[in-house]
Chains A and B, each alone.
Chain A
């Protein structure tokens, strides 16, 4: 038996939990009402890459130099009266005439949600598309040596130390998602494909179905050869897809867009997907979308009317997609969580070429959009008369290194401290001169900058499970009456038949929110009847298991790495066995039984309470079968109080409520019977 086959033997996909919209959103740690800029766990950044090198001069025409503009671009300049005056109150050296097809950018600016950063780039600009994009994504360019890994990957590695490519507590989603055929350079760490999931060309809703139906067993012994290295790569992709596939499909299917009309373009679809996933509860930190066609060497404008043509269509498409995205986020109540950043690998030359276009240039602008954004124009217009030899903006006009822009956002929007920024950009010079891009009410104050904390080292696996009888659907938690009323034993109670577990686990005092004791067993992956290790743990009211001292997670003693499955037993609920293998060597791995019936091996081994899947109540005699003997036992003990086997709902009293639970599950055969 192996993890692939588990998928195949799991419950049919039709039993996929119907979860409406609530539960995934419920994961969010903060309520939207109690907004707190110190809490950034719900915040994301969406990066949009305009591929090919956007012509910034025709995108944001420097109104203070209109005559120079016309001189440099006799055939492709935009008529003065066609330009949209962004903001007449700006100082003249920042006065911008937006391209006439950017009405949506004007609207965003007027709503206080757009910041344009001018004269962006890096020293010693490179005019190759590939090298320049590579610089932008790896944090290279200028005097420093080229970097091999991506700055986004380094940022995420720093923020989530020990992250190994698996979901972990509080962060069930992939940390990065790529859409629209974007290459993954920015996310690369020295371990490939750890940080990002590539959804290009995939239907997120069907992603899990597709992936889970793939055949083939993993290779037991991969040789240490070049052939072996390829096989390891395949296994790594396989793993990264597998661990997140179900969650991606869930967030996509559970979310919905508002009635906003997105343009039916590739970018429109990418942003629509992102909004839908965010609405479905996705907490992915960085999304990367892109749209192409900006390499306008020829035919950039319609010769008969320069406000029309290729570039006009491209800009209009970007504007309408971003506006729709922003409106959608607002309608969904998510606009406070997302900042969108638009960039391109370089600007184009100031002087036109003879083909109604212009060639590769140097400096560019970035567009920062969002409700948290400080609206405005940062940086002065490019000086159209200060050219480098081939007619592009002279590199000495550089005012805003792109790394400073990103560093400012990482700090003010995502709360990175200076050390993290140094780790992200592998240099300290981009940290000091921050650009005010986030408005004061959304700015993370310095006192709240995050100090990344390594994952807990003692508890090597996180487990989440819910007990049917104990669960309060109104509160969406399990009751803590046993501990609160002092009847819960301090030492683990599984030392009697049939468990006969002799472990010495005991609590001095119970951690907050303790529900009851559970017995966890590690089972052999191929022969699950074989017990490898046991551990008694406490169950917290939100379903998380914890050590007796309250540390979340469970650690089995003396177990080597390998493929295992996890069994969970309770003294009056039917035991469950994980339908998939669990990871021991991953401190942040979480096996969450509550997200699907199929998370427990076998047919119908969990039942739904509220919006969660739970272990089935009623097995008062601990024989993994709910039948008349359980009823008899209950009947003989009616009226008993305290910590009692027959008290299925843990209210401290054996009564008819326990009978109701039993009755609903009678004749239920457990997986371990």
Chain B
């Protein structure tokens, strides 16, 4: 029986690395060692301490080198073109993800994968991302409400042109189907169990009249948001189907009352426990496993959904319960090595960004110190490494990334014939400091001699050295045959004694030229192994 009871005792390296890989991009050797001596509760609590952003204002303008580009404007008369803004924003976000020790940016990615929008080239892109950060471990219901009024979302799903004379159902449909309660089984024409086509039409009426604004600032978030335009609103009462107990929502009587009406609508959807279940299932897929059985549905999803529901959709405690449960560590049955751990395929971010941290490969300085240089290097990292690996910051469809939420393949979708060649060339990128496509030089490279010297001990013993690398790089320690395969990569044709001499020679002379070849071979074999693709 699966169980979400609290896991007791210190984590040890294997489980510490598991927790870090699943909940953060900052998976470093030091943090793994640190978490290893903590209990699940202590470690998870630490992940939920979200530090304030170093530069909440975001990237500076690289022309004047001073102005906070995206939050102090002027937005519409910016000297730079959209492509450059996009570069700066995405580099900025990537850099924040690399440095965030908390769970915040992992959750930011989670929200951006649910409340999907398309690539945009101006400040609206940045603002929505900041909204996800603000609510990273906050209230889902509030986030859903705020997202509805976000300028980028209003544009993307056409709600800004949804008006009383001619409703546009696009946002209403996706709000049900993809963002909140999700579609149930189709039980009749236009009836998807959890809602009906009629509900979509009524919701579209509720949503009429909200339009984009470049100037309005929502006092609750401090961010720009769309506004109510009563003249475009369908002020009639709305009546929903049996799926919502035939609920009535009273039509607004003024622009300000439209927010009340919208809130009533959001409350109605979040008043269904099914909505809580839908979010918990997605958290489970995202953080825990592709394999969601009936047992897990009963023993994990349902109690967590009840917790989320009774917490009024404050996500923090539900997620904490999940991440510190015996289930998350595969310790709720007699075999602690057959489920969960290593049972997902890494998204490109988990593969590459976590890899940069794991291998100490970030040689990029503070972004704002040299914005022009860093923005272009950062955009190469994105365009020529992350994109070939299968990731762009906005999914190609409103359905989100197939690798996170799409049945039946889930995380397996990240690895297919279109991405295999790039994924298996990652060691090249790390060793050369070059991108897998277009071969651009980027400041993300491993120095293997320094790395093995700094982070490991007893390096002259080849088996200890290989063990230490595999412990932090792979989800499970491989069997003896496979271990020998990796060790052979280090040793080449030499014996372990030869390696000990080589290492001693390096320690006495400081000349790493000889051992670097062997260490690079070992690193490449591990980094390009199928096991490293999983987590």
| Beta-carbon contacts under 8 Å, A358-412 to B | 359-360, 388-390, 395
| Beta-carbon contacts under 8 Å, B143-169 to A | 157-158, 161-163, 165-169
Contacts of B163 in A (CB 8 A): 354
Confirm or deny: A230 has a beta carbon within 8 angstroms of a beta carbon on chain B: yes
A227 and B418 in contact, given A192-B412, A353-B168 (Cβ under 8 angstroms) = no
Partner of A355, one of B168, B343, B409: B168
In the complex, how many angstroms separate the beta carbon of B302 from the nearest chain A beta carbon? 22
**CB distance A220 to B481 under 8 Å?**
yes
Contacts of B177 in A (CB 8 A): 128
| Beta-carbon contacts under 8 Å, A272-312 to B | 295, 297-298
Confirm or deny: A264 has a beta carbon within 8 angstroms of a beta carbon on chain B: no
**CB distance A357 to B158 under 8 Å?**
yes
- Size of B's binding interface in residues, CB under 8 A: 68
**CB distance A355 to B338 under 8 Å?**
no
A39 to B279, CA, bound (A): 53
Contacts of A448 in B (CB 8 A): none
Contacts of A485 in B (CB 8 A): none
A211 and B412 in contact, given A125-B189, A227-B341, A355-B162 (Cβ under 8 angstroms) = no
**CB distance B161 to A201 under 8 Å?**
no
Confirm or deny: A183 has a beta carbon within 8 angstroms of a beta carbon on chain B: yes
Contacts of A233 in B (CB 8 A): 345, 412, 415
Q: Specify the chain B residue showing the minimal Cβ separation from A75.
A: B166
Confirm or deny: B467 has a beta carbon within 8 angstroms of a beta carbon on chain A: no
**CB distance B183 to A131 under 8 Å?**
yes
Binds A, one of B81-89, B218-226, B375-383, B419-427: B419-427
In the complex, how many angstroms separate the beta carbon of A287 from the nearest chain B beta carbon? 15
A352 and B343 in contact, given A221-B481, A225-B337, A226-B291 (Cβ under 8 angstroms) = no
**CB distance B201 to A124 under 8 Å?**
no
**CB distance B417 to A229 under 8 Å?**
no
**CB distance A225 to B338 under 8 Å?**
yes
A219 and B530 in contact, given A210-B421, A227-B341, A352-B166 (Cβ under 8 angstroms) = yes
**CB distance A126 to B424 under 8 Å?**
no
| Beta-carbon contacts under 8 Å, A126-185 to B | 126-131, 148, 181, 183-184
Contacts of B479 in A (CB 8 A): 221, 223
Confirm or deny: A231 has a beta carbon within 8 angstroms of a beta carbon on chain B: yes
**CB distance B340 to A353 under 8 Å?**
no
Confirm or deny: B121 has a beta carbon within 8 angstroms of a beta carbon on chain A: no
| Beta-carbon contacts under 8 Å, B374-407 to A | 388, 396-399, 402
| Beta-carbon contacts under 8 Å, A186-229 to B | 192-193, 197-202, 210-211, 214-217, 219-221, 223-227, 229
A359 and B169 in contact, given A216-B529, A227-B475 (Cβ under 8 angstroms) = yes
Confirm or deny: B524 has a beta carbon within 8 angstroms of a beta carbon on chain A: yes
In the complex, how many angstroms separate the beta carbon of B236 from the nearest chain A beta carbon? 16
**CB distance A225 to B186 under 8 Å?**
no
Confirm or deny: B471 has a beta carbon within 8 angstroms of a beta carbon on chain A: no
A353 and B167 in contact, given A198-B418, A227-B475, A237-B417 (Cβ under 8 angstroms) = yes
Confirm or deny: B93 has a beta carbon within 8 angstroms of a beta carbon on chain A: no
Q: Specify the chain A residue showing the minimal Cβ separation from B290.
A: A226
| Beta-carbon contacts under 8 Å, B507-535 to A | 524-525, 528-531, 533-534
**CB distance B402 to A297 under 8 Å?**
no
Contacts of A241 in B (CB 8 A): 417, 420
**CB distance B531 to A219 under 8 Å?**
yes
**CB distance B482 to A219 under 8 Å?**
yes
Confirm or deny: B416 has a beta carbon within 8 angstroms of a beta carbon on chain A: yes
| Beta-carbon contacts under 8 Å, A409-441 to B | none
A211 to B344, CA, bound (A): 23
Q: Specify the chain B residue showing the minimal Cβ separation from A225.
A: B338
Partner of B168, one of A126, A230, A298: A298
Q: Specify the chain A residue showing the minimal Cβ separation from B163.
A: A354
Contacts of B198 in A (CB 8 A): 389
A359 to B289, CA, bound (A): 36
Contacts of A390 in B (CB 8 A): 169, 197, 200-201
A241 to B340, CA, bound (A): 28
Confirm or deny: A234 has a beta carbon within 8 angstroms of a beta carbon on chain B: yes
Contacts of A197 in B (CB 8 A): 417
Confirm or deny: B173 has a beta carbon within 8 angstroms of a beta carbon on chain A: yes
Contacts of B424 in A (CB 8 A): 214-216
**CB distance A230 to B412 under 8 Å?**
yes
Contacts of B525 in A (CB 8 A): 215-216
Confirm or deny: A235 has a beta carbon within 8 angstroms of a beta carbon on chain B: yes
**CB distance A199 to B530 under 8 Å?**
no
**CB distance A237 to B166 under 8 Å?**
no
In the complex, how many angstroms separate the beta carbon of B429 from the nearest chain A beta carbon? 13
A616 to B515, CA, bound (A): 44
In the complex, how many angstroms separate the beta carbon of B518 from the nearest chain A beta carbon? 16
Contacts of B162 in A (CB 8 A): 353-355
**CB distance A211 to B528 under 8 Å?**
no
**CB distance B533 to A226 under 8 Å?**
no
Contacts of A484 in B (CB 8 A): none
Confirm or deny: B73 has a beta carbon within 8 angstroms of a beta carbon on chain A: no
Confirm or deny: B64 has a beta carbon within 8 angstroms of a beta carbon on chain A: no
A183 and B402 in contact, given A192-B409, A226-B338, A230-B412 (Cβ under 8 angstroms) = yes
**CB distance B173 to A128 under 8 Å?**
yes
Confirm or deny: B316 has a beta carbon within 8 angstroms of a beta carbon on chain A: no
Confirm or deny: A238 has a beta carbon within 8 angstroms of a beta carbon on chain B: yes
| Beta-carbon contacts under 8 Å, B248-300 to A | 289-291
**CB distance B339 to A225 under 8 Å?**
yes
Contacts of A442 in B (CB 8 A): none
**CB distance A298 to B186 under 8 Å?**
no
Contacts of B412 in A (CB 8 A): 192, 230, 233
Partner of B173, one of A125, A127, A216, A240: A127
A193 to B415, CA, bound (A): 11
Interface flags for B422-445 (1: CB within 8 Å of A; 0: not) read 001101000000000000000000
**CB distance B173 to A360 under 8 Å?**
yes
**CB distance B189 to A227 under 8 Å?**
no
A354 and B528 in contact, given A199-B417, A230-B342, A241-B420 (Cβ under 8 angstroms) = no
**CB distance A215 to B158 under 8 Å?**
no
Contacts of B188 in A (CB 8 A): 124
A402 to B421, CA, bound (A): 37
In the complex, how many angstroms separate the beta carbon of A396 from the nearest chain B beta carbon? 10
| Beta-carbon contacts under 8 Å, A219-278 to B | 219-221, 223-227, 229-231, 233-235, 237-238, 240-241
**CB distance A359 to B420 under 8 Å?**
no
| Beta-carbon contacts under 8 Å, B294-349 to A | 337-345
A214 and B421 in contact, given A148-B408, A231-B534 (Cβ under 8 angstroms) = yes
Q: Specify the chain B residue showing the minimal Cβ separation from A74.
A: B166
A230 and B344 in contact, given A199-B418, A221-B481 (Cβ under 8 angstroms) = yes
Partner of A297, one of B170, B416, B478: B170
Q: Specify the chain A residue showing the minimal Cβ separation from B155.
A: A298
A93 to B478, CA, bound (A): 69
Q: Specify the chain A residue showing the minimal Cβ separation from B346.
A: A230
A402 to B320, CA, bound (A): 48
Partner of A234, one of B170, B186, B343, B530: B530
In the complex, how many angstroms separate the beta carbon of A643 from the nearest chain B beta carbon? 48
In the complex, how many angstroms separate the beta carbon of B430 from the nearest chain A beta carbon? 13
A357 and B420 in contact, given A233-B415, A389-B198, A395-B189 (Cβ under 8 angstroms) = no
**Listed A/B pairs (16) with beta-carbon separation below 8 Å:** A124-B186, A129-B398, A148-B408, A199-B418, A214-B424, A216-B530, A225-B342, A227-B341, A227-B475, A229-B343, A230-B534, A234-B530, A237-B416, A241-B417, A354-B161, A360-B173
Q: Which 10 pairs, one residue from A and one from B, show the smallest C-beta to C-beta distance?
A: A354-B166, A226-B343, A227-B342, A355-B161, A225-B338, A234-B530, A210-B421, A297-B170, A198-B417, A214-B424
What would 9 more interface pairs be, CB under 8 Å, given A227-B476, A357-B158?
A129-B399, A202-B417, A217-B485, A219-B529, A223-B479, A354-B167, A355-B158, A390-B169, A390-B201
| Residues of B participating in the A interface, judged by any CB pair closer than 8 Å | 157-158, 161-163, 165-170, 173, 177, 183, 186, 188-190, 197-198, 200-201, 289-291, 337-345, 388, 396-399, 402, 408-409, 411-412, 415-418, 420-421, 424-425, 427, 475-476, 478-479, 481-482, 485, 524-525, 528-531, 533-534
